[in-house]
Structure 1
Amino acid sequence: MADARSIILHEYPTSPFAEKIRLALRLKNLAYSRVEIPVIMPRPDLMPMTGGYRRTPVMQIGADIYCDTAIILRELEARFPMPALKLPGHEGLAQMVAGWTDGRWFQSSVAVIFGENGDQVPDAFKKDREELSGRAFDTDAMKAVAPMMRDQWRARLMLLEERLQGGQGAGSGLYLIGMKPGLVDIHAYMNVWFMEQNVPDFLEQCFERADLTKAWYERLKEFEGQEPETITSRQALDIALLAAPRLVAATTRSEPQGLSPGEDVAVAPDDYGQVWVEGELVHADSQRIILQRTSEEAETVHVHFPRAGYLVRRL
């Protein structure tokens, strides 16, 4: 049964960003519990822990709440260093690759997938994603540009093929960097998985000219890991309520804005889903910011965000 020491992943099965973390957990063979959250809002038991952050997934360990795959992967690697995913050659590069896979490549994935399947999308989902992104969820427009976006998507996939060809020439091309899977592979895997779940025929067409990439993808899919325990959102909230956040140095290091522990600040993504999460600043460095929040439902929690891709302002 899950407790304050357990990894709890708040996610839903069709989320490509959640699949990133599920793959990392499989590669590390870590036990974890999962809460299946709704695909669309509301999420009443999760919001008291995150302060309103609404992207998927969220990782919880006790009363520490981790928002965004970047900080989740960093925390998993710090707490459970073996087997390592931050391998030689992945340092720094992995997050640079993530900026590409989560940005331009993901945008072309969305256009291809919803251009193909947009007629099946419920109105409630469209409305929810419009609120999340701040722009119209126009499936007719996606359908119109889908042929061009298919070209874009295939071009990005072929960059993986070029990388694997280069690695093969060096005698170490099983994965994108070397003979073991790591963080770069996890980020690159996401959009291929997303396409397979939704437009598999198109993916197979792309694989016809990308034999190495297809083999790389199949290797990653073979990792099984441990079967997660499913718990309810109420159970997860109760775990946070009865736990205390992990001790962390109350410090800031060379903050460009001169932020100091104890200040009230707000944090939000810099692209979409700009819900400002407010709290008391506990810790900030070049890669992480931690806010302390209190609520009746969860009492005291620490909410962790990455720095890259997130805005911070004083209240």
Structure 2
Amino acid sequence: MSELILHHYPMSPFAEKARLMLGFKGLAWHSVFIPSVMPKPDVVALTGGYRRTPLLQIGADIWCDTALIATVLEHRQPAPALYPAALKGLARVVAEWADSDLFWAAMGHNLSPKGAAALFGSQPPAVGQAFAADRGAMSAGMTRLRPGDAVSAYRSYLRRLAHMLHDQPFLLGDAPCIADFAVYHPLWFTRVVNPAVAGILDATPGVLAWMDRMAALGHGQAAKMSAADAIAVAAAAEPAPLPDEAFQDDHGIPLGSLVTVSAQSFGQEPTEGILRAATRTHYTLERTDERAGRVHVHFPRIGYVLRAVRPEGRA
């Protein structure tokens, strides 16, 4: 029950980040396609509420967010390293910037009126409307860049990336690290998924050459799996024993408490469960689903909100 199962869909930029990390590690994995918009009943059966893409499933353990998935893959296959010892702190900081500021600037450009028209123009109007409504609900309360402001930021970020690549093949040196994978995926969406707006990349040929080097890493060895089979894998397994890591109590919530975890901003649907671990890097919730059985759902600390559920039943 230790096979890697990635729940994703082809045009998801964060899923491309995960697919490329799997390729970099030379790993074999199972591919489960999920819907790009709600409802996602098979996803929710595993997570209890969290619906962002992708998820990594290993038996009855569900790992949420590519920042945490990267750590899981690093432990699974330490070499080649996503977090080289000499660059570990810097690489994480650049990756966090890329997954937030760079990502939202890129998507503001990618889904501008021109970009959205190119992306959905050949499909029935209901497809684009459903996508817009779904992402609008996920970003409720967020401050989003206007298209013009997003383009300005995106251009500036691309120039800065070009400077980083001026005399080296990858962002932080001679080999790719987590920073490269986090930077690559929003640019991949521009170049591959919505090439109608890819002209913005032409001013930075060094970035384009770097993207070619990243794409050449491939996606590893993927085999298709159905969502039903993936859920059956979870139901037949037990969550892996939790490692003996220190409990970092920053909230005054003891282990064994009923809690919710939700994303800090985009996609705030909560997952409710029993808090089984709160280490320096992540939370683990235990929950039971009638289809998936008993599972452990894992979230990174950074970017997520932990709340105790009140006795009357809700956080």
Q: TM-score, structure 1 length as denominator?
A: 0.89
Q: Distance in 2 between matches of 1:67 and 1:110?
A: 21
Match of 2:267 in 1: 273
Question: In structure 2, which of residues 101, 105, 110 is the aligned counterpart of residue 108 of structure 1?
Answer: 105
Question: Contact conserved, 2:239 with 2:295, CA < 8 A, in 1?
Answer: yes
Q: Distance in 1 between matches of 2:142 and 2:253?
A: 36
Is 1:162 matched up with 2:157?
no
Is 1:314 matched up with 2:315?
no
Match of 1:235 in 2: 229
Q: Distance in 2 between matches of 1:205 and 1:257?
A: 44
Match of 1:193 in 2: 188
- What one-letter code is carried by the residue in structure 2 that aligns with 1:179? D
Is 1:258 matched up with 2:252?
yes
- What one-letter code is carried by the residue in structure 1 that aligns with 2:191? E
The answer for unaligned runs of 5 or more in structure 2 is 121-126, 310-315
Is 1:6 matched up with 2:7?
no
Per-residue displacement from partner, 1:274-302 (whole Å, max 9, x unpaired)? 11111111111121110111121111100
Q: Distance in 1 between matches of 2:57 and 2:129?
A: 31
Match of 1:37 in 2: 34
Q: Distance in 2 between matches of 1:25 and 1:213?
A: 22
Aligned length: 300
Q: Distance in 1 between matches of 2:72 and 2:296?
A: 13
Is 1:128 matched up with 2:137?
no
Q: Distance in 1 between matches of 2:155 and 2:207?
A: 12
CA drift of 1:252 comes to: 5.0
Question: Contact conserved, 2:63 with 2:298, CA < 8 A, in 1?
Answer: yes
Q: Distance in 2 between matches of 1:157 and 1:189?
A: 11
CA drift of 1:250 comes to: 6.7
- What one-letter code is carried by the residue in structure 2 that aligns with 1:263? S
Q: Which moved more, 1:60-69 or 1:44-53?
A: 44-53
What secondary structure does 2:254 align onto?
A: coil
Question: Contact conserved, 2:155 with 2:200, CA < 8 A, in 1?
Answer: no
Per-residue displacement from partner, 1:65-104 (whole Å, max 9, x unpaired)? 0011111011110122122221134313333223322222
Per-residue displacement from partner, 1:217-266 (whole Å, max 9, x unpaired)? 11111122433111110000000000011101476533121332211111
- What one-letter code is carried by the residue in structure 2 that aligns with 1:290? T
What secondary structure does 1:260 align onto?
A: coil
Match of 2:206 in 1: 212
Question: In structure 2, which of residues 1, 11, 18 is the aligned counterpart of residue 21 of structure 1?
Answer: 18
- What one-letter code is carried by the residue in structure 1 that aligns with 2:132? K
Q: Distance in 1 between matches of 2:213 and 2:245?
A: 42
CA drift of 1:207 comes to: 3.0
Q: Percent identity?
A: 36
Q: TM-score, structure 2 length as denominator?
A: 0.89
- What one-letter code is carried by the residue in structure 1 that aligns with 2:292? A
- Taking only aligned residues, the RMSD between alpha carbons, in angstroms, comes to 2.1
Q: Distance in 2 between matches of 1:136 and 1:266?
A: 20
Q: Which moved more, 1:194-203 or 1:173-182?
A: 194-203
CA drift of 1:204 comes to: 4.2
Question: Contact conserved, 2:63 with 2:299, CA < 8 A, in 1?
Answer: yes
CA drift of 1:136 comes to: 9.8
Per-residue displacement from partner, 1:176-198 (whole Å, max 9, x unpaired)? 11211111111111121011024
What secondary structure does 1:83 align onto?
A: coil
Tell me: CA distance 1:253–1:196, structure 2 relative to 1, closer, same or farther (3 Å).
same
Match of 1:152 in 2: 153
Question: Contact conserved, 2:95 with 2:178, CA < 8 A, in 1?
Answer: no
Match of 1:63 in 2: 60
- What one-letter code is carried by the residue in structure 2 that aligns with 1:114? L
Question: Contact conserved, 1:292 with 1:302, CA < 8 A, in 2?
Answer: yes
CA drift of 1:205 comes to: 4.5
The answer for unaligned runs of 5 or more in structure 1 is none
What secondary structure does 1:293 align onto?
A: strand
Question: Contact conserved, 1:94 with 1:187, CA < 8 A, in 2?
Answer: no
Q: Which moved more, 1:121-130 or 1:56-65?
A: 121-130
Question: Contact conserved, 2:238 with 2:294, CA < 8 A, in 1?
Answer: yes
Question: Contact conserved, 2:24 with 2:220, CA < 8 A, in 1?
Answer: no
Is 1:118 matched up with 2:116?
yes
